[in-house]
Amino acid sequence: MTDQPLLVAEGLAKNYGARIGCRDVSLEVYPGEVLAVVGESGSGKSTLLGLLSTELAPSAGRVLYRLKDGALTDLASLGPAERRLLMRTDWGLVRQNPAEGLRMAVSAGGNVGERLMAVGWRHYGDIRAEALDWLGRVEIAADRIDDDPRSFSGGMRQRLQIARNLVTRPRLVFMDEPTGGLDVSVQARLLDLIRGLVAQMGLAVVIVTHDLAVARLLSHRMVVMRQGRVIETGLTDQVLDDPREPYTQLLVSSVLAA
């Protein structure tokens, strides 16, 4: 980690009509850092992730990102072409529902190769070799390369989604409940895999989860959300072992009691 943040959010807010999605969120993400966003259902985690990843437009505030040239840049100042290029090269976005993050009618190899083709790869053999390499890294057997994800289990789909996102070696990956809906044993394997890749590639990750065990396992720092606001933030171990806010204490104790 360096002392220069990769991503900076300033005073972010999002209203859905009269309803508040999130409000007054400021945070920083450093290179190689995993930041967990935790909180109960409806607390605004997904909304915040949508704002950070520019999938949602903020009602107030802004998001800045350190581009490859080193300049911290307001993402709203980028044109749509630049922003989309950034999203498919320097960023990844792993969705909770893999059917939304994958092309279900396209083979595993095509899913992984898409980003490469999108950035100009035009050699079939090279694309295939790279796809095979990535399937190996996410522990999908090479002989599944031409199968489409409809025939994959939930855990495999999620691993494929990760490979599809990491193939361009992004610096920052957003994940929304990547282990949600999976069996406990499948979850554990996926978490190990994510942890290994993150460390190996030095990825910065913003991961949304309602599961404090996931935050504990993966993240360096965490923010706790409630009713659209960040109510507590700090190093993961500190927050979990010594929560300051009564609400966080409740969250932690209910997990420990479970």
Partner 1 sequence: MSAAPDPAAPDPATPESDAAPAGPLLPELAYNFAYLDEQTKRMIRRAILKAIAIPGYQVPFAAREMPMPYGWGTGGVQVTAAVLGPDDVLKVIDQGADDTTNAVAIRGFFEKTAGVATTTRTSEASVIQTRHRIPEQPLTERQILVYQVPIPEPLRFLEPRETETRQLHALAEYGLVHVKLYEDIARHGHIATTYAYPVEVAGRYVMDPSPIPKFDNPKMDDCPALQLFGAGREKRIYAIPPHTRVRSLDFDDHPFRVQRFAEPCAMCGARGVYLDEVILDDRGGRMFVCSDTDHCETRQAEGHHGGMWGGAPGAAA
Ligand X SMILES: Nc1ncnc2c1ncn2[C@@H]1O[C@H](COP(=O)(O)OP(=O)(O)O)[C@@H](O)[C@H]1O
Instruction: Show the binding pattern over residues 215-234: x = contacts Mg ion (CB under 5 A), - = does not.
Output: --------------------
d(CA 216, CA 240): 8
18 binds ligand X (CB under 6 A): no
122 touching ligand X, by CB under 6 A: no
Select from 23, 115, 164, 171 the one that contacts partner 1 (CB under 8 A).
115
- The residue from 5, 38, 44, 198 that contacts ligand X (CB under 6 A) is 44
Q: Which of 43, 46, 161, 187 binds Mg ion (CB under 5 A)?
A: 46
Measured over the CA atoms of residue 111, residue 194, residue 135 and residue 117, the dihedral's sign is positive
96 scored as a contact of ligand X (CB under 6 A): no
Interface residue with partner 1, options 55, 100, 146, 192 (CB under 8 A): 146
We find the least distance from the C-beta atom of residue 192 to partner 1, in angstroms, to be 30
Annotate the chain with three-state secondary structure. Answer: CCCCCCEEEEEEEEEECCEEEEEEEEEEECCCCEEEEECCCCCCHHHHHHHHCCCCCCCEEEEEEECCCCCEEEHHHCCHHHHHHHHHHCEEEECCCHHHHCCCCCCHHHHHHHHHHHCCCCCHHHHHHHHHHHHHHCCCCHHHCCCCHHHCCHHHHHHHHHHHHHCCCCCEEEEECCCCCCCHHHHHHHHHHHHHHHHHHCCEEEEECCCHHHHHHHCCEEEEEECCEEEEEEEHHHHHHCCCCHHHHHHHHHHHHC
Q: Does 92 bind partner 1 (CB under 8 A)?
A: no
Residue 145 vs 214, nearer CB to Mg ion: 214
Q: Which of 42, 61, 180, 234 binds ligand X (CB under 6 A)?
A: 42
Under rule CB under 6 A, residue 43 binds ligand X: yes
Using the rule CB under 8 A, which residue among 41, 122, 257, 258 binds partner 1? 122
For residues 178 and 155, give the distance between their C-alpha atoms in angstroms, rounded to a whole number: 10
Q: Is 84 in the site for partner 1 (CB under 8 A)?
A: yes
> Is 106 an interacting residue with respect to partner 1 (CB under 8 A)?
yes
Binding mask 35-74 for partner 1 (x = CB under 8 A): ----------------------------------------
Q: Under the rule (CB under 8 A), what is the footprint of partner 1?
A: 80-81, 84, 103, 105-107, 109-110, 113-115, 117-119, 122-125, 127-128, 145-146
